[in-house]
Structure 1
Amino acid sequence: MAIVKKAFLSVIFFTILCGFVYTMVVTGISQALFAKETNGRIIEVNGIKYGSELMAQQFTGNKYMWGRIMKLNIVTVNDKSGAKLMYAAPSNLSPASNEYKEIVARRVAKIKAADPQQGDKPIPVDLVTNSGSGLDPDISLAAAQYQIPRIAKYNNMSFEEVQRIIDKCTSHKIWGFLGEETVNVLKVNLMLEHIL
């Protein structure tokens, strides 16, 4: 009976310690030191929340910067009122599959039609492929710069003005050599709309 009592008290103790105390301490530390990141790095302007810097949004208009391909589903999930909800998910397609090749070919055709002034210039690979999560909010600097002529044309801007916006939304390599330079698509588009 004493063993059962000790086991029961151990379960209660570790449930409180690991389930409540640890969680509250870690949450408190993260809120104190990294509040913006902990809360999803939401972009809010004048009380309006436009999205998270950490989560991709799909932009399809010619005046916007386009991000990576997103695998979107608007059929299978409903909210409490019955309305369809859109969600994205990673793709499990093999790069060797015919379906994957068709998706890439359609995206290449769409980009070439939207950016005819680029001629036969190679399209950066991240503009025609999914990210691992399907929700990558950033694209490479090369992919952003590839779109400058189209964005400038449809926003009545100079190439230099678009480049300045891209520069403001570019994350540089950590310590100058780790990782790659990336551009946040949502921030660029909010700046194009004069929201940021």
Structure 2
Amino acid sequence: MEGKKTILRQSVGMLLAFTILLGGVYTLAMTGLTQMLFPRQANGSLIYAGDGSRICGSEYLAQPFEAKNHLWGRVMNVSGDALRDKDGSPLLYGGPSNLSPAGEDFGKMMAENVAKIRAAHPEMKDAPIPVDLVTSSGSGLDPEISLAAAEYQVPRLARETGRSQAEVREIIGKCTSGRLLGIFGEPRVNVLKVNLMLDEQLSK
């Protein structure tokens, strides 16, 4: 009986020790370390507008843009039935469509997306549409598009903002990230940053 009590005390002691060590000490240490080494990333990689006092988004979270004087990002599903409960209340900010590429609904959605892009870009009627302008990403929240997708929209942005195409391309260039380590992936354009610069609101 005494042996069982000893084992129980040891087990409870180990449980408390590891709870304090892993649930408290480790968590506080990692939080403090990330705040010291990567404070911007640890706090959400926030993007500020105006004088730097107004938070307008994160580098890693897409926002839906549909105004003609703004750069458009990937297709976002921010109001689909899958994102709402039975009463219609939002469950998630956004997410993937979960439509099968073999289904009729997917084909209909793609046709609508292509028609929307074509109608907004008459100057590009003979150019192929970059696929990321008519499809959503795996997460449905990708904040970046390819350089090709951004370039496709340059004529519309120049027309709607009154800027020259060269000025629009310069803004896009400032908001473009290169390949990871110079070799992995493709250059990417942050949609929110471009639009803030078009509106002249990106915080310096």
Q: Shorter-chain TM-score: which interval?
A: over 0.9
Which segments of 5 or more consecutive residues in structure 2 lack a partner in the other structure? none
Number of matched residues?
191
What is aligned with 2:119? 113
Matches within 5 A, 1:106-145: 106-145=112-151
1:121-149, CA deviations, whole angstroms, 9 ceiling, x for partnerless residues? 10000111110110000000000000000
The answer as to 2:22 corresponding to 1:21 is no
Deviations 1:66-116 (A, max 9, x none): 000111127737xxxxx9687201232222222112111111000000001
CA–CA distance in structure 2, aligned partners of residues 74 and 49 of structure 1: 26
The one-letter code matched in structure 1 to 2:181 is W
Are 2:39 and 1:30 equivalent residues in the alignment? no
Partner in structure 2 of residue 153 of structure 1? 159
Question: Which string of whole-angstrom CA distances, capped at 9 and with x for unpartnered residues, describes residues 31-80 of structure 1?
Answer: 11111111111112321111111100000011100000111127737xxx
Alpha-carbon offset, residue 176 of structure 1:
2.2
Question: Over residues 141-194 of structure 1, what are the superposed CA-to-partner deviations in whole Å (9 max), with x where a residue is unaligned?
Answer: 000000000011000011000000000000011232211100000000000000
Question: Which residue number corresponds to residue 199 of structure 2?
Answer: 193
Report the equivalent of 2:170.
Answer: 164
Residue 8, structure 1, aligned to residue 30, structure 2: no
Contact 1:74 1:87 (C-alpha < 8 Å) held by counterparts: no
Distance in structure 2 (CA, Å) of the matches to 1:17 and 1:93: 45
| 1:169/1:187 contact within 8 Å kept | yes
Structure with greater proportional strand content: 1
Q: Which residue of 1 aligns with 2:48?
A: 44
TM-score by length of 1: 0.92
Larger Rg: 2
